[in-house]
Chain A
């Protein structure tokens, strides 16, 4: 990356791009992929949207570039423009050179020579990126055939087996004949990576490759990507919104905002010495799984700008707490920080932001709220929810006409826990561990259930008539994962919030008053009540969802992944709001989340679930700082941390395989099939794990922590441990 962008990426006319190349400002010799002044425009109902506004970067062979930013910042559009996969209605201009050859302007047919060959891509959703009617083998061979028509069939098959083995699929030879539906999500993503690297690409673009996966699977897939890069020597463009994911992998980072790179530099510069307020905000907005200290997160208020109109000043200025008059005249260009060429930021104040500026001061993070219950010992607080031995088993049947029962899915298997007033209790685990079923069992609340659910003193076993149910609904409300899906698109906010109140039999005047209160409570403007949900941003919609849950003044709010559909910057605002409401209204939360960092930040107690059972439960700091069950240990080690130094040197447990299917569930300890401790045990001790079910027992010291494992501090199997000692290859 050299000096031409200092003149402002927008300045040179499009035809000048060629001149830049000729003038040698472009470095064709060393960069495998170089992008200059990439612009993408789309037509929409509202006019022309300028989605990408002048992206420049050079990618060196074997290096990894991480592109991060909120949704709508133009990350994915950039990658699709490079691949030539944008719809024909998009207008793309600028220059994309692969090994010195221009790609933009090539016809679809000409692009096919590069796509899948020198330039490969891994998509976000592994479930839909493989064709369901062909075997995995056919699809890998297809990728080979297209670019190597002369290759013999046996050679192609041998190569396919080799590829599958490379991405860590067990018994690859047999798996060639398997269909995509026979693979789990993580396995399919591995197959996608295998297809992408089949022709030894020079550049591999990974667009949010792990966003749709569980943390343990994410760790596996990232590991596979790492291996793939080492094997092929490809340069990788890693697009993600998760700053943790790229911390350990990337060499360079490009932070994008409103279609423009706003800060670029080596990974350490960006994480430890950010100079653009947006980058600082992004870093401050991410909760840390490895830090116990409680501090509020940094919310970035507002929404990304509308790209219909060219911004007159800095595009971040409307959301920037440091914005001054000067920020509003003219968009700042990327300029080198501290005079060194590699770390560049597009901020007129970047010089002043160095050193020890605290992001919490910059963004005015709210103080940590204190609940009146925090001072009361847990045992003295009243119980708002109690589960006693709750089970939910689904019969597994086969046969079309006569259904035979061939097994049982134990979605929830003997769950007991309680939630006290004013506390936040979280359930974590991979998908398929029974978290959501547990929530549904609580929300269902009827007498036929296996096990007892007591909500605010009302048990499901005693009277589960309509009256008791209505009473229970006033004690317990729910906030959904997807704020868009949870609000009827045809209701105004007023109608959304009025529904539970009307249902509770309130009169018109009281409803109006309560709605105004609620809007203020969740930090929305009261005069927005007549708008429809689609006129709000994701974070605001989730606030409406929270307001609706709080309408009838419940004691307990069930939160089903409340922030997982939101951008990090918005997520921080919602988490802070939840924290604040818990303290102010004395609420209790039952939180289900897969993001352990969020859980650590917000909860008081946590339960780790695996295959319908709690394997470890206790105070959040105890469990996270001193995990005893090997599954908890693996989960915690799989969470990426937005700290490059730590990421590179961290020891990581990579669990083998996926959740076992219910039919193969072991007799003894559920976790034995994947357990790193079990794998390292001598056969005599393994016998115990396989035959006996470990009970949930309290840890030796009288602390709030229980776990279900016979060998809690056993040694871990070395095959499942991975450490990247790559500290020096990251030098710029």
Chain B
């Protein structure tokens, strides 16, 4: 036969090249490198990880917990006994902050992850089937967007949901309600992205091979919008934390005895003058939490964006020097 099947020296040489040298860099490596190059984003990640660690192991550093009342220290500023002071009722603020941070992060992560996942499957399904399916699903989506989330949260957590409240802790109830109302925007975005992916030849190729639709959505569409999904998760986590804080602040989110950052901030607003630490400590933690996520999100966007100005090991200084030399020459 021909030399088509023979292993030719050129290909072998090129192969050795590919394996030994850094010709092909995996996409993930590139993204990782670009992310690391953004110092703000790395700082954000560090802060977020530190806060998460704090919320889990912080409780071991104090003998107090969020329910024990210290009758000798009521409304005391930070001291050696109580690192961050105590509340008007004599409960240790440090213990409450640890607990509150954990609940807030938990709500943020669960809502952020699950809502994006729901949005991805829903959006891709709409895009893949198109036509009538798309129209009906789009109608449901639009209807949900128009529903006043605030009222539903208020009803579910205080008035109407008595039965629910008995069976579920208030943070779980809030997660469910937030989930129902947080995925629509992302789903719409994903729908339009997948619609353009549908035009790509590899989806057509799969269709022409007779691959069933379910598999095409799961194996071809969802992974290919992965970078968008990751961005949306970090954004969704921030949004969920803020929503929790806001709802708890106006008294319809997490209910005492459960503690969250929002409950702490909400409870302390009336006492900013008398017990300032009760207000500023949870506020700072919340700011660190959402701020770190925003910093990370910025770096992630830069890392994923193919048209980003992140130009590799750019030696800008050298470039400037050569042009300067040329001008003087």
A302 touching B3, Cβ below 8 Å: no
Contacts of B67 in A (CB 8 A): none
A576 touching B13, Cβ below 8 Å: no
Contacts of A170 in B (CB 8 A): none
Nearest CB in chain B: distance from A282 CB, A: 16
Contacts of B318 in A (CB 8 A): 91
Contacts of A469 in B (CB 8 A): 210
Given contacts A43-B311, A580-B4, contact A487 B208 (CB under 8 A): no
B319 touching A91, Cβ below 8 Å: yes
B313 touching A482, Cβ below 8 Å: no
Which residues of A from 489 to 542 have beta carbons under 8 Å from B? 489-490, 499-500, 503, 520-521, 523, 525, 532, 534-535
**Interface residues on chain A, number (Cβ under 8 Å):** 58
One digit per residue, 1 when the CB lies within 8 angstroms of any chain B CB and 0 when it does not, for chain A 4-39 equals: 000000000011001000000000000000000000
A310 at the interface (CB under 8 A from B): no
Nearest CB in chain A: distance from B325 CB, A: 7
A478 at the interface (CB under 8 A from B): yes
A301 touching B11, Cβ below 8 Å: yes
Contacts of B204 in A (CB 8 A): 480, 486
Q: How far is it, in angstroms, between the C-alpha of A301 and the C-alpha of B14 when the chains are bound?
A: 10
Q: How far is it, in angstroms, between the C-alpha of A485 and the C-alpha of B323 when the chains are bound?
A: 39
A534 touching B15, Cβ below 8 Å: no
Q: How far is it, in angstroms, between the C-alpha of A478 and the C-alpha of B224 when the chains are bound?
A: 22
A443 at the interface (CB under 8 A from B): yes
B7 touching A548, Cβ below 8 Å: no
Q: How far is it, in angstroms, between the C-alpha of A697 and the C-alpha of B282 when the chains are bound?
A: 87
**Among A309, A366, A480, contact of B3 (Cβ-Cβ < 8 Å):** A366
Q: How far is it, in angstroms, between the C-alpha of A372 and the C-alpha of B4 when the chains are bound?
A: 19
A489 touching B224, Cβ below 8 Å: yes
A548 touching B205, Cβ below 8 Å: yes
Interface residues of chain B: helix, strand, loop or mixed (majority): helix
Number of A-B contacts (CB under 8 A): 131
Which residues of A from 98 to 130 have beta carbons under 8 Å from B? 104-105
Contacts of A584 in B (CB 8 A): 1
Q: CB-nearest residue of chain A relative to B4?
A: A523
Given contacts A525-B7, A535-B18, contact A47 B220 (CB under 8 A): no
**Among B10, B205, B211, B314, contact of A319 (Cβ-Cβ < 8 Å):** B10
A306 touching B23, Cβ below 8 Å: yes
Contacts of A443 in B (CB 8 A): 208
Nearest CB in chain B: distance from A199 CB, A: 27
Q: How far is it, in angstroms, between the C-alpha of A318 and the C-alpha of B12 when the chains are bound?
A: 10
Contacts of A93 in B (CB 8 A): 322, 326
**Among A15, A45, A366, A486, contact of B325 (Cβ-Cβ < 8 Å):** A15
B2 at the interface (CB under 8 A from A): yes
B147 at the interface (CB under 8 A from A): no
A165 at the interface (CB under 8 A from B): no
A490 touching B319, Cβ below 8 Å: no
Binds A, one of B25-33, B156-164, B168-176: B25-33
B211 touching A503, Cβ below 8 Å: yes
B209 touching A473, Cβ below 8 Å: yes
Nearest CB in chain B: distance from A241 CB, A: 20
A488 touching B30, Cβ below 8 Å: no
Among A308, A490, A521: residue with most chain B CB under 10 A:
A490
Nearest CB in chain B: distance from A584 CB, A: 8
Contacts of B1 in A (CB 8 A): 580, 584
Nearest CB in chain A: distance from B144 CB, A: 28
**Among A47, A488, A535, A545, contact of B24 (Cβ-Cβ < 8 Å):** A535
A500 touching B312, Cβ below 8 Å: no
B329 at the interface (CB under 8 A from A): yes
B4 touching A577, Cβ below 8 Å: yes
B326 touching A318, Cβ below 8 Å: no
A303 at the interface (CB under 8 A from B): yes
Nearest CB in chain A: distance from B246 CB, A: 38
Contacts of B33 in A (CB 8 A): 45
A302 touching B208, Cβ below 8 Å: no
A486 touching B208, Cβ below 8 Å: no
Q: CB-nearest residue of chain A relative to B25?
A: A45
A366 touching B25, Cβ below 8 Å: no
A105 touching B327, Cβ below 8 Å: yes
A503 touching B10, Cβ below 8 Å: no
B129 at the interface (CB under 8 A from A): no
Q: How far is it, in angstroms, between the C-alpha of A45 and the C-alpha of B24 when the chains are bound?
A: 10
Given contacts A523-B4, A534-B27, contact A480 B17 (CB under 8 A): no
Which residues of B from 55 to 93 have beta carbons under 8 Å from A? none
Given contacts A104-B326, A580-B2, contact A534 B11 (CB under 8 A): no
Contacts of A490 in B (CB 8 A): 223-224, 226
A367 at the interface (CB under 8 A from B): yes
Q: How far is it, in angstroms, between the C-alpha of A534 and the C-alpha of B29 when the chains are bound?
A: 14
Contacts of B166 in A (CB 8 A): none
Contacts of B8 in A (CB 8 A): 301
A89 at the interface (CB under 8 A from B): yes
A151 at the interface (CB under 8 A from B): no
One digit per residue, 1 when the CB lies within 8 angstroms of any chain B CB and 0 when it does not, for chain A 321-365 equals: 000000000000000000000000000000000000000000010
B312 touching A44, Cβ below 8 Å: yes
Q: CB-nearest residue of chain A relative to B2?
A: A366
A302 touching B13, Cβ below 8 Å: yes
Contacts of A480 in B (CB 8 A): 201, 204-205
Among B211, B318, B319: residue with most chain A CB under 10 A:
B319
Q: CB-nearest residue of chain B relative to A107?
A: B327
B327 touching A43, Cβ below 8 Å: no
A473 touching B311, Cβ below 8 Å: no
Given contacts A478-B208, A503-B209, contact A302 B4 (CB under 8 A): no
A438 at the interface (CB under 8 A from B): no
B315 touching A48, Cβ below 8 Å: yes
Contacts of B24 in A (CB 8 A): 534-535
B7 touching A499, Cβ below 8 Å: no
A722 at the interface (CB under 8 A from B): no
B139 at the interface (CB under 8 A from A): no
A701 at the interface (CB under 8 A from B): no
Q: How far is it, in angstroms, between the C-alpha of A221 and the C-alpha of B7 when the chains are bound?
A: 43
Contacts of A721 in B (CB 8 A): none
Nearest first, the 5 closest Cβ-Cβ pairs linking A and B are A366-B2, A302-B10, A486-B201, A45-B312, A43-B314
6 A-B residue pairs with Cβ-Cβ distance under 8 Å, sorted by A, are A46-B312, A89-B314, A89-B319, A319-B10, A487-B202, A580-B4
Known A488-B223, A532-B26; 7 more pairs at CB < 8 Å: A105-B327, A302-B14, A308-B21, A503-B211, A523-B4, A523-B5, A534-B24
